[in-house]
Amino acid sequence: MTQMLEGIRVLEFATNVAGPFAGKLLADYGAEVLKVEPPSGDPSRTAGPFPNDEPHPEKSGLFLHLNTNKQSMTLNLETEEGREIARKLISHADVVIDDFRPGVLAEYGMGYDAMSAGHPDLVMASITPFGQSGPWRDYIGTEITLQAMGGPLHGNGAPYREPAKLGGNTAHYHAGLATSLAILLARFRVEGGGAGDWIDQSVYEAQAGFRDRRTISLTAAAYSGLSSHRQPPGSRTALGPRPAIDGYVNILGGGTKRFGGFLDEIGRPDLKDHPDFGKQVHQYSAEYQEQVEGSYQAWLFETPKLEAVARTQKHGILGGAIMSTEDLVNDPHYRGRGVWETIEHPVAGTFEYPGRQLILSESPRAAARPAPLLGAQTADVLTQLGYDRSALPRLRAQRVI
């Protein structure tokens, strides 16, 4: 069956997370994505986790995840012949994804203006920490820096400690997702007969515009003029993360219209007769807070987290279990929907991977292909560009590939 993005040719001059994630989202739904790596490989090949904790460039869990369904060729853009090959590749591509510092592609003669001159439907997406213009354009930025400057860091953690970073590469994954959407929008215009585009994606701006937990606080501040602050854990009665017998839950029980059902569930229907019942959480007396919290904690200490969520959800109470990685891998809901996919890699071996991002009724996603070996398609791509295979030893000796 035809894949949703079949026929779209993508060149990926991007490393680590943001650009490769954008390319992955396109490749997983049928786009032909050629990953152009430096001869040493994408740096993410050195990032774990690795099977048995043994580092290997073909066994990085991060690389394997981010590069399913792609092809790989090596190319040294520090050489003139390497840049010449890259320009030829771009001239045949529909989409280019890069994460070079601002101005580098132009120095290489591979900038959007140069490459789109005879290729007006080219879509180029450039991902940088702070964008192609502005006073910060040449600043470098790491994940924690971009979370901090973009906003999410400010709202996380206890008020008496430093802000807490969200785990993993949240900022870069989000920038990759935003980039893939921008690429599809630009291609939609191209398919309608319009021109291509140069997408200037700043990771910083993707974070600053990210709809996160600050939204409610910002709206409240706009109307009241009062800014909110991070709350200490457990400061709001029956609201927020709490320990259960086998982990943590985040159930929003207190101060809601369904608080009565919550009290029934934790075995304290008598607290509905208390004068504070029906008030907002911040209006509860210390004595009422103590009774609710004590009974809630006692209930959680004998109730598994998934059971606690299921029982409160029956009353229409918002909440969920805080899932560990092991929980997610074994989650029956994920299992039931086919979220995990088994992929066999010729070097890394056979593992389960996070599978499809969404379900399509008319063009279901094909079974995933493993991430490519470093430079696996280099010879084939060069042959298609007119190189004789006898030239490959020279290109390797000159470190072009």
Q: 312-371: per-residue pLDDT in tens?
A: 999 999 999 999 989 999 998 999 998 999 999 999 999 999 878 888 888 888 899 999
CA 282 to chain centre: 36
Say which amino acid occupies 312: T
In-domain check, residue 277: yes
The answer to which of 137-151, 158-172, 281-295 has the lowest mean pLDDT is: 158-172
Structural tokens at position 42: 């994408």
The CB-side HSE value for 238 (13 A sphere, CA atoms) comes to 33
Cα separation, 347 vs 371, whole angstroms: 10
- Please tell me the predicted confidence (pLDDT) of residue 233: 62
Q: What is the CATH number of the domain that holds 192?
A: 3.40.50.10540
Within-domain flag for 221: no
Same domain? 299 vs 339 = no
- Residue 233 belongs to a domain: no
Per-residue model confidence (pLDDT) at position 282: 83
Residue 283 is part of a domain; what is its CATH number?
Answer: 3.30.1540.10
Determine, yes or no, domain membership for 330.
no
Report how far residue 275's alpha carbon sits from residue 277's, in angstroms, rounded to the nearest whole number.
Answer: 6
Instruction: Check whether residue 308 and residue 372 sit in a common domain.
Output: no
Q: What percent of the chain lies above the pLDDT cut of 90?
A: 74
* Chain mean position to CA 135: 27
Same domain (yes/no): 59, 20: yes
Average pLDDT, the chain: 91
Q: Are residues 271 and 384 in the same domain?
A: no
Token readout for 161 is 């400690």
Q: Do 346 and 197 lie in a common domain?
A: yes
Phi-psi region of 115 (alpha: psi -120 to 50; beta: other; left: phi over 0): alpha
Lowest mean pLDDT among 89-103, 155-169, 171-185: 155-169
Residues β-bridged to residue 151: none
Which pLDDT band holds residue 218 (cuts at 50, 70, 90)?
A: low
Spell out the residues 6+ positions from residue 242 whose beta carbon is closer than 8 angstroms to its own: 234, 248, 249, 250, 251, 296, 297, 300
The residue written with tokens 């930025």 in the block is 141
107 & 189 share domain? yes
Determine what percent of the chain is predicted with pLDDT higher than 70.
Answer: 94
> pLDDT at residue 151 above 80?
no
Instruction: Copy the structure tokens of residue 395.
Output: 């290109």
Residue 247 predicted with pLDDT over 80: yes
For the cut 70, the answer to whether the pLDDT of residue 211 exceeds it is: no
Select from 99, 126, 74 the least CA-distant residue to 376.
74
Say yes or no: 298 and 367 in one domain.
Answer: no
Count of CB atoms situated within 10 Å of the CB of 189: 14
- Give the three-class secondary structure for 34: strand
Q: What is the pLDDT of residue 216?
A: 62
Answer whether residue 215 is part of any domain. Answer: no
φ and ψ of 379, to 5 deg: -60, -45
Give, in order, the Cα–Cα distances in Å from 310 to each of 262, 304, 314, 322, 330: 12, 10, 6, 13, 17
Evaluate whether residue 216 is within a structural domain.
no
Q: What span, in angstroms and rounded, lies between the C-alpha atoms of 355 and 172?
A: 19
In a domain, 386, yes or no: yes
- Specify the amino acid at residue 129: P
As a whole number of angstroms, the distance between CA 120 and CA 198 comes to: 11
User: Which 3 state secondary structure label does DSSP give 271?
Assistant: helix
Q: For the chain, what is the domain count?
A: 2
Residues 315 and 182 in one domain: no
Q: Are residues 34 and 167 in the same domain?
A: yes
DSSP 134-203: STTTT----HHHHHHHHSGGGG-S-TTS---PPSTTHHHHHHHHHHHHHHHHHHHHHHTT---EEEEEEH
Assess whether 306 and 345 both reside in one domain: no
**Which neighbouring-strand residues pair with 199?**
125
Phi first, then psi, for residue 397 (nearest 5°) are: -65, -35
Alpha helices in 225-360 (DSSP H): 259-265, 286-300, 305-313, 325-330, 332-337
The whole domain housing 370 covers: 9-210+335-397
Whether residues 98 and 182 share a domain: the answer is yes
Report yes or no: 372 and 35 within 8 Å, Cβ to Cβ.
Answer: yes
